[in-house]
Chains A and B, each alone.
Chain A
């Protein structure tokens, strides 16, 4: 057992200087990581969409909390969670038998899904889904929400178990990649051909990305590295990767299978009228878990429910609960294994404890900060984004014109002979023609509600240019948000350490970010032009098969793992806001599929980078032949 070392007391001034230096280094690092996305969103909002910033103080507080949260959370991962995961991974094969390790993997996968529930992100992406358009999708998110969570959890559990099995026998990641890809492509094609299943393709694919949360990924990664080091069967220092990929793929298969089982049981009511009619009431209720849920949904259809905005304190309290649940549930499981199976004192216990506390505080501040800052900014830009190609109402600038005299309303005619009404509004010495909508005139008070409209940045024949602007915006947003993703930073750091700096963390982060940017652009293209999701998802996956076969084992595992880390707490809220904003204007009800596209292109980007690096290594080794001096 390690002996207690003697402590060295250093003067308070020196200690303070050490702490200040350390904190400022960490903060500056994170400031750099969020600078791009914040600057990008601000420039877009202020100069391109020309929308003023509301609640600048809350926004600034939110951004500051995000930076602080990111710094604390990452430090917590590095000091506590990852060393704990790696230590247990290292010791388990020495202390116990393979079936116990597999069982631990399955339980870890199951608890990860409950610790970091993906259902919230899926519900957000499907918040505009209506039961008459997509009954199965609606039922999955409401009546069968528990089934969905349990299915995803089972998928992740099986995946982590498979990952452990792979390390124990030193199996290559490639057969798993090929197997899962072929199964997923087949399932997607089956679903695409079946009208009752078509609607769930997006949610199935997205469930893979969102299950791997910011606490699960680093823990599973560290555990895998520990177990792989301990078994050492593949004799490669980077053989610990690959579990995140499995944990992303298996839930997709599981959700497809669940949907196939449930599809025949879900009633189809093809219109809002059919859904609301009393004779179909019994069938409509089958889409909900309870009558109360059904009644509540009916109420929301009849009245606009304004989103209640919580104060900073309440927001942080909410995140404290979810962060503590995620970190404590997962590390609690690890600590139990440490006590029961490993039965050994972990190194530097005080650092690990500090790491766990920092992770909870960091994740709380990060979640709260993103909701108050980045998500709000992203939401403002995302929901207004369609103004790039289409005119939009600005409800926050609405004006109530008292005692509106209908005598000022005039007639105009459209080229097709339709008659429209308008009136002149005098504002700041300017007279502006404004369309008149009779339904906005209050029947008793004669007040008229005027909602200003913002004309399209690129309207008319320039609409396509406006749509291209959206694709460009999506690219930059995906790139910038991914630069700040904590799980990706943890992956980058691990890759850099295991490759002794030959694959730099920055290279990986930037490559993945470019991939996410391309993926988000594709996602927006799908929404804008209503391209079927399989048409955008299947080709890159099929292209990945030969590329993976050609790439080195370690790069293949890193590339496929990077798919799981892209969809984290920074990217998801921004993507959902943007998907819903654009989808709402073009009439696409769900934002599903965008996250799945944001996962596949990073794999492609990292695989191509890996192949380029491998080719470079080959050229170095054959330099003498090239120079003719051998």
Chain B
């Protein structure tokens, strides 16, 4: 579990549950309404795409099956809740949106340390102290023992390449969103325009015991072990309701392989039976290139303001950041259901060495994240392993 960071003055921190929902775009407005009804406070929305494998009808005997990627509009919605409310909200969403049906979406829950200004639902109703461990009770109908995998990729269309590999390996339904990278590129002066800043961010969820193996496999398959291709990291997921169907179109059997695996998981009550990789230490030299003591720091602020915080991070020693455009919807809990003032927001994600987290938070707070905008917040979560290209010596 994360070490706590000393709390800057005037800032409230707490360990909370972050719920991320990837939802089919056609259901997104219904989800907004449900979140407002459930009184989750402010939630952040960004467009994404859900990628599935589509098996087309066989056209001739020569080409027995045609597999292509099917891209569908989706939205990534995230919000934080006190851990004692997670069960009620998550269960209600799963029941209403039936994530167990194909093409609807997925939901997962993480524990994060959240820093935010003033009074808010999340922190006010959180009775736990900063040091108290969050509730880890598993939720009915949710899968546990999972790890989140995020790939931040530089090349156009690399997102689909990772998604296809993940789908073919039967990992889960991948969701891709967009971001803009800042880092070394911004220190090149005007020459930076020659390097595309756009990034594709792929999010996957895999069983704990397979996550590193899958990471290595995807890194190899998608050549992330080449300079400038991108990086990836793993983080713990408390529980999740994942979309069951990775493949659409012609089905030759009564149940898909994902449905069979899901059923066995449920019978055995665990996922370790399907370990397919040796432990990380026994594998290739990439295991050595994984960094262990890292944190994911997510910074949310109104759009156009993240530059100064990223500059501060860069001064402190953070090598790069990825910023995505998001919208802040919902209501402020203590504002009598008045809508959020500024809708356009940004989420900046940085992978930071644990030793830098404290000075980073202090620096950003000193820069006025919580003074200038009452919607600013920082969320920090553990990173169990991070991979990025390192030049061989």
A binding-site residues for B, Cβ under 8 Å:
1-3, 5-8, 10, 15, 18-19, 21-22, 75, 79, 87, 90-91, 94, 229-232, 235, 237, 344, 347, 350-351, 354, 497-503, 616-618, 620-624, 627, 629-630
Contacts and interface: CB of A to CB of B under 8 A. Distances in A.
Given A235-B29, A621-B26, A350 B101 contact: no
A87 B71 contact: no
B189 interface: yes
Contacts of A94: 342
Nearest to B314: A5
A232 B343 contact: yes
Contacts of A232: 327, 329, 343-344
Interface string B148-184: 0000000000010000000000000000111000001
Given A10-B191, A502-B72, A617 B25 contact: yes
B303 A621 contact: no
A627 B247 CA distance: 12
Among A2, A5, A620, A629, the most chain B Cβ lie within 10 Å of the Cβ of A620
Interface of B: 24-27, 29, 32, 45-49, 52, 70-73, 75, 101-104, 159, 176-178, 184, 186-195, 245, 248, 251, 255, 259, 303-304, 307-308, 311-312, 314-315, 325, 327, 329, 342-344
B344 A90 contact: yes
A230 B343 contact: yes
B304 A22 contact: no
A502 B342 contact: no
Nearest to B75: A237
A232 B303 CA distance: 13
Contact of A231 (B177, B307, B343): B343
B254 to A, nearest CB: 8
5 closest pairs, A vs B, by CB? A232-B343, A22-B194, A620-B103, A623-B102, A8-B187
Contact of B187 (A6, A15, A503, A627): A6
A620 B186 contact: no
A620 B308 CA distance: 42
Contacts of B47: 237, 498-500
Contacts of B102: 620-621, 623-624
Given A347-B304, A617-B73, A623-B103, A8 B49 contact: no
A574 to B, nearest CB: 31
Contacts of B248: 620, 623
Contacts of A618: 26
A431 to B, nearest CB: 59
Contact of A18 (B187, B195, B308, B342): B195
B327 A1 contact: no
B103 A79 contact: no
A616 B255 CA distance: 22
A216 B189 CA distance: 29
Contact of B71 (A231, A235, A501, A629): A501
Contacts of A617: 24-26, 72-73
Contacts of B73: 499-500, 502-503, 617
Given A22-B195, A617-B24, 15 more contacts: A2-B311, A5-B186, A230-B343, A230-B344, A232-B327, A235-B32, A347-B307, A500-B177, A500-B178, A616-B72, A618-B26, A620-B24, A620-B70, A621-B104, A622-B103
Given A231-B343, A623-B103, A500 B190 contact: no
Given A3-B311, A620-B72, A623-B248, A235 B327 contact: yes
A22 B193 contact: yes
Among A8, A347, A497, the most chain B Cβ lie within 10 Å of the Cβ of A8
A103 B251 CA distance: 58
Given A22-B194, A235-B32, A7 B189 contact: yes
Nearest to B185: A8
10 contacts: A2-B311, A7-B187, A21-B194, A90-B303, A347-B304, A347-B307, A500-B49, A621-B27, A621-B104, A629-B259
Contacts of A500: 47-49, 73, 176-178
Contacts of A7: 187-189
Contact of B176 (A8, A347, A497, A501): A501
Among B45, B189, B259, the most chain A Cβ lie within 10 Å of the Cβ of B189
B185 to A, nearest CB: 10
Given A232-B327, A502-B73, A354 B193 contact: yes
Contacts of B194: 18-19, 21-22
A19 B191 contact: yes
A613 to B, nearest CB: 9
Given A1-B308, A229-B344, A500-B48, A8 B184 contact: yes
A344 B308 CA distance: 14
Among A7, A231, A621, the most chain B Cβ lie within 10 Å of the Cβ of A621
B188 A237 contact: no
A87 B304 contact: yes
Contacts of A621: 24, 26-27, 101-104
Given A235-B329, A237-B47, A237-B327, A627 B251 contact: yes
A351 B191 CA distance: 10
A251 B66 CA distance: 49
A80 B87 CA distance: 48
A598 to B, nearest CB: 29
B25 to A, nearest CB: 7
Given A79-B193, A90-B304, A3 B25 contact: no
Nearest to B188: A8
Among B71, B102, B178, B187, the most chain A Cβ lie within 10 Å of the Cβ of B102
Contact of B308 (A3, A15, A90, A351): A3
A616 B344 CA distance: 30
Contacts of A622: 103
Contacts of A21: 194
A6 B303 CA distance: 24
A624 B101 contact: yes
Given A5-B186, A231-B343, A624 B176 contact: no
Contact of B190 (A230, A347, A351): A351
A174 B24 CA distance: 23
A120 B48 CA distance: 43
Contacts of A230: 342-344
A230 B104 CA distance: 28
Contacts of B184: 8
A207 B195 CA distance: 40
Contacts of B159: 501
B92 to A, nearest CB: 20
Contacts of B187: 5-8
A227 to B, nearest CB: 10
Contacts of B308: 1-3
B96 to A, nearest CB: 14
A351 B185 CA distance: 13
B325 to A, nearest CB: 7
A374 B124 CA distance: 67
A565 to B, nearest CB: 22
A624 B303 contact: no
Contact of A630 (B101, B176, B192, B327): B101
A620 B53 CA distance: 11
A229 B327 contact: yes
Among A91, A237, A347, the most chain B Cβ lie within 10 Å of the Cβ of A237
B178 A497 contact: yes
A351 B193 contact: yes
Nearest to B310: A2
A620 B103 CA distance: 6
A230 B27 CA distance: 23
Contacts of B192: 351
A344 B305 CA distance: 11
